[in-house]
Amino acid sequence: MQVTIHAAKTNLSKLIELAKAGEEVVIAKGKVPVARIVPIPQTRFMIGLLKDKVEPGGPDFFESMAEEELGLWEGKD
């Protein structure tokens, strides 16, 4: 569906609903298309998304590093 800028201003809510329903909405200046109204995909944030999928027992980031490993991080040979 293509509408003029004036029609888009008048019917913006309806055009947004059409776009959400999958309709392609193009706004034109005269007969030249200049913009498109598209829906933004809605995703839900889920806590615990990787629960039971990641093995426990990963590295302990609070444990002290070995001296030679610490030297590598600090650029010492």
Q: What is the per-residue pLDDT for 75?
A: 86
CA 25 – CA 27 distance, rounded (Å): 7
What percent of the chain shows pLDDT beyond 90? Answer: 51
Spatial contact of 8 and 15, defined as CB atoms under 8 Å apart: yes
Mean pLDDT of 40-51: 78
Mean pLDDT of 4-28: 95
Burial of 25 from C-beta contacts in 10 A (0-12 / 13-18 / 19+): buried
Residue 41: half-sphere exposure toward Cβ, Cα within 13 Å: 3
CA 32 – CA 34 distance, rounded (Å): 6
Each domain of the chain, given as residue ranges in start order, spans: 2-37
* pLDDT surpassing 70 at residue 28: yes
